């Protein structure tokens, strides 16, 4: 990989990846619709580019080998921003990449694609999607777009089902789902370098003792997370016990996203 492009580089994960991947690739191009600051050594900056702008995206992808696609609405929101950023913007990103001959896309998907799977069960990358909101549905759409562009156009796609990207875990659920900053940088780095990729799903979590998400790709591509949320368990459990989580949250992998706007029947969700 000579030149990589990070979309959404002004955001929380984008900033950490921009810093962490700088110097590991000859050129790191960063883009966002928000301000990005001046280009550092080894960087190219494309500022003020919205995912709505297909021609602009195509220009930003010229001579790019791989895209790390982070830009989008990162939480549950009304339909309008999700439609604009995660559906239309996602399509524009894939289409611009195809037109420019980009080989690989590493897509920031989410655990909210599988949120309504019962938390009592360990799950892997083969379980059917069970999104827990409009945001989760948009990430399922993103993964499906990747499937299409891999099968139909031969692009190499890795979907990162990111857990909880935080400096440290903040609550009981994050003892399962935490992804530390340094593990995130390492994960994206191995995803960019891995050989033999067609269409893959990998869970973005640290080496948490309570992790319940497993996939076959992590070991295959050499993902070796160093951090474990368990180091923070004592301080978290002083403030909150697992049974303090409301039932509609603690029953499911998606946690509080499952409880948002919930008016379903818990007894029917197997």
Residues taking part in catalysis: 135
CB 102 within 8 A of CB 61: yes
Q: Which is nearer to ligand NAD, 14 or 146 (CB)?
A: 14
Half-sphere exposure of 244 (CA within 13 A, CB side): 9
Choose which of 8, 115, 133, 255 interacts with ligand NAD (CB under 6 A).
Answer: 8
Q: Which is nearer to ligand NAD, 13 or 194 (CB)?
A: 13
CA-CA distance, 50 to 201, in Å (whole number)? 26
Which of 172, 186, 173 minimizes the C-alpha distance to 227?
A: 186
CA-CA distance, 257 to 125, in Å (whole number)? 20
CB of 112 to ligand NAD, least distance (A): 7
- Quote the DSSP letter at residue 111: G
Q: Which is nearer to ligand NAD, 85 or 211 (CB)?
A: 85
Site string for ligand NAD, 35-74 (x = CB under 6 A): ---------------xx------------------xxx-x
Choose which of 4, 18, 28, 32 interacts with ligand NAD (CB under 6 A).
Answer: 32
Could you say which residues in the range 123-182 bind ligand NAD, by CB under 6 A?
162, 164-165
CB of 84 to ligand NAD, least distance (A): 6
φ/ψ of residue 7, rounded to 5 = -90, 155
Q: In the block, which residue shows the tokens 């993902």?
A: 223
Site string for ligand NAD, 83-112 (x = CB under 6 A): --x---x------------------x-x--
Burial label, 270 (beta-carbon count in 10 A; 0-12, 13-18, 19+)? exposed
The DSSP bridge pattern shows strands 3-7 and 66-69 to be parallel
CB 204 within 8 A of CB 162: yes
Site string for ligand NAD, 181-220 (x = CB under 6 A): ----------------------------------------
Which residues are at the interface with ligand NAD (CB under 6 A)? 8, 10-14, 32-34, 50-51, 70-72, 74, 85, 89, 108, 110, 162, 164-165
């Amino acid at each position: 990989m000579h030149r990589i492009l990070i979309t959404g580089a002004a955001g929380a994960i984008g900033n950490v990846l921009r810093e962490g991947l700088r110097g590991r690739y000859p050129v790191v191009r960063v883009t966002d619709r928000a301000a990005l600051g001046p280009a550092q050594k080894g960087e190219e900056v494309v500022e003020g580019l919205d995912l709505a702008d297909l021609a602009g995206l195509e220009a930003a992808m010229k001579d790019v080998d791989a895209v790390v696609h982070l830009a989008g609405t990162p939480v549950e929101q009304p339909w309008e921003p999700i439609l604009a950023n995660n559906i239309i913007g996602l399509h524009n990103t894939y289409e611009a990449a195809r037109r420019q001959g980009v080989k690989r896309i590493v897509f920031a998907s989410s655990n909210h694609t599988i949120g309504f799977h019962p938390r009592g069960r360990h799950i892997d990358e083969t379980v059917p999607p069970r999104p827990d909101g409009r945001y989760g549905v948009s990430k399922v759409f993103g993964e499906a777009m990747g499937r299409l562009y891999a099968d139909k156009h031969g692009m190499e796609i890795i979907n990162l089902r990111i857990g909880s990207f935080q400096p440290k875990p903040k609550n009981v659920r994050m003892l399962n789902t935490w992804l530390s900053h340094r593990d995130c940088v390492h994960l994206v780095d191995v995803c960019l370098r891995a050989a033999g990729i067609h269409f893959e799903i990998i869970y973005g979590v640290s080496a948490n003792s309570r992790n319940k998400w497993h996939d076959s790709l992590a070991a295959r591509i050499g993902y070796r997370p160093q951090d474990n949320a368990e180091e923070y368990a004592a301080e978290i459990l002083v403030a909150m016990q697992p049974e303090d989580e409301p039932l509609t949250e603690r029953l499911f992998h998606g946690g509080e996203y499952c409880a948002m706007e919930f008016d379903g029947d818990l007894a029917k969700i197997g």
